[in-house]
Structure 1
Amino acid sequence: MTVTSGPASGRTAAPAEAPTHRVALAFEDGVTKFIDCREDQTVADASYRQRINIPLDCRDGACGTCKALCESGDYDGGTYIDDALSPAESADGYALPCCMKPRSDLVLQIAATSDVAKTQAAEFSATVVGLERLSPTTMRLSVEIPNRSELAFLPGQYVNIDVPGTDDGSGSPVRRSYSFANGPHEDTLVFLVKLTPGGAMSTYLTDRASTGDLLTLRGPHGSFFLRESMRPALLLAGGTGLAPILAILRKLRHDGSARRIHLIYGVSTDDDLVETETLDRMQSEVAGFTWDHCVSDPGSSAANKGYVTSLIAPRHLYGGDVATYLCGPPPMVESVRRHFVEAGIEL
């Protein structure tokens, strides 16, 4: 007698659906689009099903047209010929979306503009829910959008915001770019704004803005974002360049990361120094996170006077095996780059 076992109903159980991962497609023009891709599905298939036409001439790894750099995540590269993707390119992190299948969330650099892929940055209608003057020079702007689940972004990215009541000369409102200071998992969107006399957004926030105002956001954009890794990281922030760093820290806290992270936060004056209580709290909540700050104004009351480069110590560099994230005004960015070049460290 043969005995078989199965569902009590006698019906065959449906096969389990393959796990699904989020794939970020970062285009050359700064637009980032997110798609959902199952582990039994190629990235190209998932992309086309979600109406994003990444460059593609074949679907079997024969031409190399879709070649993309995978900046973060694990995947099965699939089967292809060396003419389409050489072993050296594969070792450098390149893959073919027409063949690759995700094993985790991915970030892919697509060698085309969003225009070519027949897609564009998404547009969102936001309501102002918070206006907080953090200091004489800095405002925290908080907004909410009704379709929050549709706005996916990588910690470190930014959106363009239309400034109400302005005109750029062509009939369109003036737009300004601001990095998210909130984590990708948080419902309220938060931005730090440096108040500049006469600035379009600064004037709006200080003279006309109120809770309940409607704003238009477009994005996300940008190639500055947290890469998945357990390498130690050195974060360097200048002024309101702290915003994307806060997004990164909030993501690490949410993930329960134990990655070793050190932040050096530099500002011009004592008035520019904000969110210190937040950073102190992060230090107690994010394992492995430490931070320090400096003020370049010689008359500052800060313990450390000078620039962020003055606080970079050998212990922060781990012999070169460190991921460095740098965000701030152009003079600061250039100063840091020069510092690393002179030290023989490649950024």
Structure 2
Amino acid sequence: MDHQVVVKPSGHVFSVSADESILAAALRQGLNLPYGCRDGVCGSCRGRVLSGEVSHGNASSAVLGESDRLAGFALLCCATARTDLCIETTEVRALADIPVRTLPARVHRLLRVAPEVMIVELRLPSSERLQFLAGQYVDILLKDGKRRSFSLANAPHDDSVLQLHVRRVPGGRFTEHVFNGMRERDLLRLRGPLGSFFLRDDSPRPMLLVAGGTGFAPIKAIVEHALAQRSTRPMDIYWGARQRADLYLLQLAQQWAAEHPWIRFVPVLSESPPAERWTGRTGLVHAAAMHDHPDLSQHQVYVCGAPAMVAAARADFLAHCQLPTDEFFADSFDYAADTQLAIATGPAPEMNGSPHD
């Protein structure tokens, strides 16, 4: 039997089944409640039960003492609902709400989805979880103190593994290792979440999402988070690549559009050879979006990809499509120096903030 949970002070409502924790149910439905471990150890998910009855599950007495329970507190990662509930807890809706952490991570799986693209799945220690906003990135910390940054391609509610989309950079130290030396169960260190590129889910505006190459990674996270929220905000997704093989999750994007009438997906190729017999859109991906959306005055726009594409999209959308400056959010993927870069619209380098080679 499902129970209804009302969150104060936000007023958000979600349902929870008898066999899942209150936190798991909230995350599954796109609500970002605070947490750190999901195992009753850190206490980050502590909230107050204002009305209703919960079972405290395996909450540690060292973290949640008897006096806390009598005062109505519960660890939401352990507690399950016995009745309908009203709880009091903060919701993570801004960068300042999430601590940046350094954590070990083990390579769980390597999936080569295109000749030059590898999906890397990372698993954190069983007692840890990384909370983040849809669209943010992490730094992979190298042994010499340098770092490489990659967007998180999974939505926040789906955090059992962290998914990175890595494009090989010829001669790149780290990406060549990913393709030629990395093995499952290898140990890495990461730091995050980082970056100001994330879904502004409090806006009712239709969304235009433009991705170039592996810039699809944070766009994927944003779309899947919106779907988990049961949002029906219109989403027009444009994904640009050179050849068809570079659209490495084409079927997934097509499935979003097929299953949800408020989602439209447009793939665009810039260098498709005749042998591919590509019959879809061609040219620059942001130009295709401009052609279809000459008036963006009521939209919210998310752009992720190479610096030249991001810069052109920003200039053209603002100058020719009436897009308000404060409704443009971008992530520019750079490949050069070993420093954290930034642009006015959000974090820079490939996948969001520093070089990824």
The aligned residue for residue 132 of structure 2 is 153
Contact 2:244/2:272 (8 A) holds in 1: no
CA contact (8 A) 1:237 1:245 kept: yes
Deviations for 1:14-72, whole angstroms, at most 9, x for unmatched residues? xxx98487578xxxxxxxxxx768699xxxxxxxxxxxxxxxxxxxxxxxxxxxxxxxx
- Tell me which of 268, 271, 281 is aligned to 1:294: 268
| Equivalent of residue 346 in structure 1, options 302, 306, 324 | 324
- The answer to whether the aligner puts 1:328 opposite 2:305 as a matched pair is yes
Runs (5+) with no aligned partner, structure 1? 1-16, 25-34, 41-101
Candidates 311, 314, 322, aligned match of 1:337: 314
Instruction: Please say if residues 259 and 287 of structure 1, whose CA atoms lie closer than 8 Å, have aligned partners that are also in contact.
Output: no
Q: Which one of the candidate residues 247, 252, 255 is aligned to 2:221?
A: 247
Map 1:179-328 onto structure 2 (within 5 A).
179-186=151-158, 187-228=160-201, 229-297=203-271, 299=273, 301=276, 302=278, 303-313=280-290, 316=293, 320-328=297-305
Q: Which amino acid aligns with 2:323?
A: I
Match of 1:175 in 2: 147
CA distance in 2, matches of 1:148, 1:237: 34
Identical aligned residues as a percent: 30
Q: 1:175 to 1:340 in 2, by over 3 A?
A: same
Q: Give 1:190 shift.
A: 0.6
CA contact (8 A) 1:23 1:107 kept: no
After superposition, give the CA deviation of every residue in 1:257-306 in whole Å (9 maximum; x if it has no partner): 21110101112333422110111222234451111011121636432221
Residues of 2 paired with 1:148 and 1:320: CA distance?
Answer: 46
Stretch of structure 1 that moved more, 317-326 or 262-271: 317-326
| Corresponding residue for residue 105 of structure 1 | 91
Which one-letter code corresponds to 2:205 in the other structure?
A: R
Q: Is the 8 A contact 2:104 2:190 kept in 1?
A: yes
| Cα distance in 1 for residues equivalent to 2:259 and 2:101 | 33
The code of the aligned residue for 1:200 comes to R
Q: Distance between the aligned counterparts of 2:319 and 2:174, measured in 1?
A: 38
* TM-score when normalising by structure 2: 0.62
1:108-127 pair list within 5 angstroms = 108=94, 121-127=100-106
Tell me the distance in 2 between the aligned counterparts of 1:241 and 1:230: 24
- The 3 A distance-change label for structure 1 pair 149 and 275 is same
TM-score by length of 1: 0.63
Structure 2 gaps of 5+ residues are 1-5, 11-31, 35-43, 50-87, 326-357
| Cα distance in 2, alignment partners of residues 305 and 185 from structure 1 | 35
Equivalent in the alignment of 2:337: none
Q: Report the Cα distance in structure 2 between the residues aligned to 1:152 and 1:192, rounded to whole angstroms.
A: 19
Structure 2 CA distance for partners of 1:346 and 1:141, relative to 1, 3 Å? same
Paired residues, number: 250
Is residue 112 of structure 2 the alignment partner of residue 139 of structure 1?
A: no
Residues 257 and 286, structure 1, Cα contact 8 Å, conserved in 2: no
Structure of larger gyration radius: 1
Preserved CA contact (<8 Å) 2:242 2:272: no
1:203-225: CA deviation from partner (whole Å, max 9, x where unpaired)? 11122111111111110001000
Q: CA deviation at 1:125?
A: 1.3
